[in-house]
Amino acid sequence: MKAEILARLQAAQAAKKPVALLTRLTDGVQILWPQDEAPAPLAEAARTALRDDAAQNLEYEGAAWFVHPHNPALRLIIVGAVHIAQALVPMAQPLGFAVTVVDPRRAWATADRFPGITLIHEWTDDAMAELAPDSRTAVVTLTHDPKLDDPALDVALKSDAFYIGALGSRRTHAKRVERLTELGHGAEALGRIKSPVGLDIGAVTAAEIALSIIAEVVAVRRGAALGSRVRAAVSA
Amino acid sequence: MSDVSDDILATAAAWRAAGEDVALATVVQTWGSSPRPPGSRLALTASGKLAGSVSGGCIEGAVADAAKQTMASGTPQLLDFGITDERAWEVGLACGGKVKVFVEKLA
C-alpha cells in the first residue's frame, strides 16, 4: 500500500466518511473508492461491501480483486452517566464503538468518571437530536428516570438506530410503553426497545449487566438469533 | 470490520513515520472454520514488531517470513493456507480452515 493511500484512508476515517479499498491481488494496484474513480463493476462491489459491511472478492478483467470496506465506527450512545455506564464504556470501545455519554446531571457525567469519553450535558432530547442516531448506532438508556430516558427513547424510535435498549424491570417498561404510546409510537416501533435490557445471563453486578447489554448489542448487530430467542422464551 | 483494524493501520502509519520498514497482511478470503474474517489485518516491521492478526496465531510465523521478502523486494504476495496445502500443515493451520492472505509493503 502506498503511504499516500493510507493517509487518505485515515483521513476519510477521521472525517467519518465510508470508503472502500480495492486491491488487485495480482500486483497490489489499489483504488480508494469513491475518492478515486473505479470501473463500474468494481464501484458496484465497493457499494455492496460498504452497505453490507462485508468484504467482497471478484474477478475483473482476468484479475482477482479484494474489496475492503472501511465504514465509520459504530456508535454507542449511553443515556445516563451511571455506574453501569462506567462499566459499559470500557467493554464497548475495544468492540469498535465510539461511545458518547449523555446526562444533563453534571455531577454524574464528569471526565473523572468517564476519562476520554465524549460527554454531553444537554437535555436528552436535544442531545439525541444533535447526535442523530443512524443505522450504525446503538442507544441504551440507563437513568431509570422517565424525565431523562423517555425523551431519548422518543428520538431513538424515530431514528434508524440498529439497537435500542432501556434499563428497567418489566413493570417499569410496561409503564414506559404507555407513556411512549401517548407520544404517538405504535406497538411495532415500541417492540424495537429491548427491555429488560441485555441478554439473560443472570447478571447482578454493574459489570455483569454491562456485559449482558454489550453482548446483546453485538448479537443484534450480527443478526444472531440469540437475543430474540432468549427474549421470546422468557416472555412466552 | 472497520473498527479494530483502524488501530492497526494507525499503528502501521506510526511505525513507518518512525522510519521502520512496514508490511501489511490482510485476510482476503476464507473457507471453513477460519478464525479471522476477510479484512482482518496484521502489520509487521522488519524489526519484528507485530500488531493485529490474520489467524488464531497458526500462520503468523509463515506470514512474517513472507512479509520479510516483500519488505525487501517491494513485490506483494498472495499466500494460500489450507488443509490441501502441505505448507499449511508445516505452519499448523490446525483449525482445518483455508485462508488467503495478501501481503504488501507500506511504501
CATH number, residue A85: 3.40.50.720
Residue-range definition of the domain harbouring residue A65: 3-70
Answer yes or no: is pLDDT of B3 > 50. no
pLDDT at B36: 85
Cβ–Cβ contact A1 with B under 8 A: yes
Contact A79, A124 (CB under 8 A): yes
Shared domain check, A87 and A42: no
Shared domain check, A192 and A143: yes
pLDDT at A229: 46
Angle ∠(A139,A143,A149) on CA atoms, nearest 5: 60
What is the percent of chain B where pLDDT is above 70?
A: 81
Cβ–Cβ contact B74 with A under 8 A: no
pLDDT band at B7, cuts 50/70/90? confident
Looking at beta carbons, which residues of chain A come within 8 Å of B38? 54-55, 57, 66, 68
**Are A71 and B106 in contact (CB < 8 Å)?**
no
Shared domain check, A217 and A106: yes
Name which of A13, A28, A64 is nearest B6 (Cβ-Cβ): A13
pLDDT band at A138, cuts 50/70/90? very high
Shared domain check, A122 and A230: yes
Backbone angles phi, psi at A55, to 5 degrees: -65, 155
pLDDT at A236: 39
Shared domain check, A58 and A42: yes
**Are A69 and B104 in contact (CB < 8 Å)?**
no
pLDDT at A141: 98
Shared domain check, A141 and A177: yes
Q: Residues A209, A210, A215, A217: is their CA dihedral positive or negative?
A: positive
Distances (CA, A) of A47 to A25, A68, A160: 19, 11, 19
Among B88, B83, B73, B66, which Cα is nearest to B31's? B83
The answer for residues whose C-beta is within 8 angstroms of residue A92's C-beta and 6 or more apart is: A76, A99, A214, A217
CB burial class (10 A; 0-12, 13-18, 19+) of residue A89?
buried
**Are A25 and B78 in contact (CB < 8 Å)?**
yes
pLDDT band at B86, cuts 50/70/90? low
Calculate the CA B51 to chain-centre distance.
10
Query: pLDDT digit string (tens) for A72-130?
Result: 889 999 999 999 999 999 999 999 999 999 999 999 999 999 999 999 999 999 999 99
Q: Which residues pair with B77 in a beta bridge?
A: B103
CB burial class (10 A; 0-12, 13-18, 19+) of residue A44?
middle
Domain boundaries, chain B: 4-105
Contact A114, A82 (CB under 8 A): no
Secondary structure of A189-225 as H, E, C letters: HHCCEECCCCCCCCCCCHHHHHHHHHHHHHHHHCCCC
Q: Which of A42, A70, A98 is the last residue of a domain?
A: A70
Cβ–Cβ contact B24 with A under 8 A: yes
pLDDT at A214: 98
Q: What is the largest CA-CA distance in chain B?
A: 40
Answer yes or no: is pLDDT of B5 > 80. no
Looking at beta carbons, which residues of chain B come within 8 Å of A96? 2-4
Answer yes or no: is pLDDT of A28 > 80. yes
Q: Count structural domains, chain A.
A: 2
Q: Looking at A93-102, A141-150, B82-91, which range is the least confident one?
A: B82-91
Name which of B13, B26, B29 is nearest A6 (Cβ-Cβ): B13
Sheet of B50-52, strands arranged across: B50-52, B41-45, B22-31, B98-105, B77-81
ipTM: 0.84
Query: pLDDT digit string (tens) for B67-81?
Result: 999 999 999 999 998
pLDDT band at A3, cuts 50/70/90? very high
A189-199 burial: b if 16+ Cβ within 10 Å, else e? ebeebbbbbbb
Distances (CA, A) of B86 to A13, A66, A100, B33, B90: 39, 25, 49, 18, 7
pLDDT at B87: 55
Q: List, as ranges, residues 29-48 from B with C-beta within 8 Å of A.
A: 29, 37-39
Nearest CA in chain A to B23: A1
Query: pLDDT digit string (tens) for A168-187?
Result: 999 999 999 999 999 999 99
Looking at beta carbons, which residues of chain A come within 8 Å of B13? 3, 6-7, 10
Calculate the CA A17 to chain-centre distance.
16
Q: Looking at A35-44, A160-169, B24-33, which range is the least confident one?
A: B24-33
Shared domain check, A212 and A158: yes
Cβ–Cβ contact A66 with B under 8 A: yes
Shared domain check, A79 and A63: no
Answer yes or no: is pLDDT of A235 > 90. no
Q: What average pLDDT does the structure give for chain A? A: 93
Looking at beta carbons, which residues of chain A come within 8 Å of B105? 1
**Are A68 and B9 in contact (CB < 8 Å)?**
no
- Give me the helix-helix angle, A170-182 and A146-157, nearest 10°: 60
Pairs of residues, one from chain A and one from chain B, whose beta carbons lie less than 8 Å apart: 75
Answer yes or no: is pLDDT of A224 > 60. yes
